[in-house]
Amino acid sequence: MRLLRRPTRHGNVLVKSSVLDVRRKRGASAPTSQSNLRLFLSSANVQQFELWHNTGIFHGITTNPIILESDGVKCNVKALTSLAQDAFELGAQEMHLQVWGDTVQKLSSVAFDLAGINPRQIVIKLPCTLEGIQTATLMRDANIRITIAGINSAAQVVLAEAVGAEYASAYFGWMIDKLGSEQAGMESITQMHKITRSHNSSMRLMVSSIRDASDLAKLSEFGCDTFTISPAVAMKMFMAEGTLDYFAAFEDAARRNS
């Protein structure tokens, strides 16, 4: 039984994770649907890790230097080691950590340090630049898992696939800003997805920078199956007005008839 350092918020009630683990174990043999879908929580806030872990919807966690700065976590190996350990203790299957540096030597030095935290579960995020791809080759040859990040064109998906990346991360929201419309962003992501499918590639197109839950649904309809979303977007998925109305009515009926 995994015991955490802190209680975990489950719904509106604080429930110790050991209780939730027991519940999961008792139901371990229950049938579950099979899907290629993977959701990643885009956060560096351990409290958010705790909250969302217990929904059971996230495969792992992803960060970058902007997220680290926003969530008050230092962008250094020591801080990321602690963050990753918290994530794995909570049950994250993968942790995607972005490296920093403007040369192959600097990028690879940080990458090897971060991969050393947990080579099986850490996925190293490298920029889709000449230096990033060169570093990715070094990581590949060392059997280190890699994501090529900052994909902004279909041709860059080919680069990521060619270098042997496990994931190619395209920033959907940023692409909309660059291309000028949501439709153009959707078309670009769809083209990227078609490329990976046409090559029968095992590389996953990871769609990041999703700003609204409705975008996740639209992209899923086009065949995308790997997403990173913020805690705010994740919460929006539960805020469908009709659903809240239905269950408010159910609760009222339960109280009247208890």
Cα–Cα distance between 215 and 190 in angstroms, integer?
13
Residue with tokens 């190619």: 168
**Domain 35-256 of CATH type 3.20.20.70:** yes
Average pLDDT over every residue of 32-47: 92
pLDDT, tens digit (0-9, with 9 covering 90-100), for 115-140: 999 999 999 999 999 999 999 999 99
* C-alpha to C-alpha distance for 44 and 71, rounded to whole angstroms: 6
Confidence of residue 12 (pLDDT cuts 50, 70, 90): very low
pLDDT for res 31: 62
Is 203's pLDDT higher than 60? yes
Contact by Cβ (8 Å): 138, 164: no
Amino acid letter for position 239: M
The reported pLDDT for the residue numbered 45 is 98
Q: How confident is the model at residue 32 (pLDDT cuts 50, 70, 90)?
A: low
CA count, 13 A, side-chain hemisphere, 254: 6
Asked if 206 and 169 touch (Cβ cutoff 8 Å), the reply is yes
Over range 6-13, report the average pLDDT.
Answer: 40
Q: Residue 122: beta bridge partners?
A: 95
Q: How confident is the model at residue 21 (pLDDT cuts 50, 70, 90)?
A: low
3-state secondary structure 22-34: HHHHHCCCCCCCC
C-alpha to C-alpha distance for 180 and 238, rounded to whole angstroms: 29
Least confident of 14-18, 108-112, 131-135, 148-152: 14-18
Alpha helices in the chain (DSSP H): 17-26, 46-53, 65-70, 77-89, 104-115, 130-141, 154-162, 172-179, 182-198, 213-221, 231-236, 241-256
Structure confidence at residue 29 (pLDDT):
53
- pTM reported for the whole predicted model: 0.85
Residue extents of the structural domains in the chain? 35-256
Beta carbons of 211 and 233 less than 8 angstroms apart: yes
Residue 10 phi/psi, 5-degree rounding, is: -125, 105
Q: Over 80: is that where the pLDDT of 101 sits? A: yes
pLDDT recorded at residue 16: 43
